[in-house]
Amino acid sequence: MPEIAPNCWKAALSFFWWREYRDGRQEQEFDLLTGQISPWGPKTPDGLAKVGWLPVTPGLAQKMKSCGEYGIPTQSLAIIIPLAEGEEPVIYKETTVWEGSQVHCKACDAVFRSTGPATHCPICGAKTSWRCPKCGQLQDSEICPDCKVQGNPINPLESRPARWDETEYFLGVKGKFCNRFNTSRLITEH
């Protein structure tokens, strides 16, 4: 996620909007030949038959980059909905910038993000333990229950500060339903 000015971020996109009119014309957020951006417009145009979000391809991401935009290619499917006459689409995106840590688990080699202190690895369950200097056993508590000696901490989680953005896409029909999604989840609200 590029910082284009102090505390001003340009979101990297995995999807771009697409719309089809009742007469068969199609428009999309990015020109597939040049990568040039086209705004949706100040209001939703009349005569829409379908709207949706299409995944950014590797080729489009390269073209977007040459136009100063940032695309993250994804193998996700397109999400498109039909519109009945008079229905108003809900279609927008929101980006959140998160601050936290990128964590590397030395036990299983997983890498994950955490917005608070990482207490355990979500993949293998590894967490901080204490090794008793007397008997050598790993314990869940600082004091060895057998030897009554303070253990030495063994932390398998290595953290470093990180910032990342997450863009969530919205698609639905006003007053009926709305899908919220990104590349890893889809939630439908009625």
pTM for the structure as a whole = 0.74
The first and second tokens of residue 15, run together, are: 């999807």
Backbone φ and ψ of 65, nearest 5°: -60, -40
Q: Residue 2: pLDDT band by 50, 70, 90 thresholds?
A: low
Q: State the pLDDT at residue 4.
A: 61
| pLDDT at position 168 over 70 | yes
Residues 6+ apart with CB under 8 A from 76: 14, 15, 55, 183
| Residue-wise pLDDT tens digits, 47-89 | 999 999 999 999 999 999 999 899 999 999 999 999 999 999 9
Q: Residue 1: pLDDT band by 50, 70, 90 thresholds?
A: low
Q: State the pLDDT at residue 163.
A: 85
The mean of the pLDDT values for the chain is 92
Mean pLDDT of 21-27: 97
Pairing of strands 89-105, 129-131: unpaired
The rounded percent of the chain whose pLDDT value lies above 90 is: 83
Every domain of the chain and the residues it spans: 3-97+164-189, 100-161
Q: Residue 11: pLDDT band by 50, 70, 90 thresholds?
A: confident
Q: State the pLDDT at residue 5.
A: 66
Q: How far apart are CA 186 and CA 175, in angstroms?
A: 19
Neighbours of 52 (CB within 10 A): 21
Mean pLDDT of 162-185: 93
| Residue-wise pLDDT tens digits, 110-123 | 999 999 999 999 99
Pairing of strands 177-181, 186-189: antiparallel
| Residue-wise pLDDT tens digits, 124-145 | 999 999 999 999 998 888 999 9
| pLDDT at position 3 over 80 | no
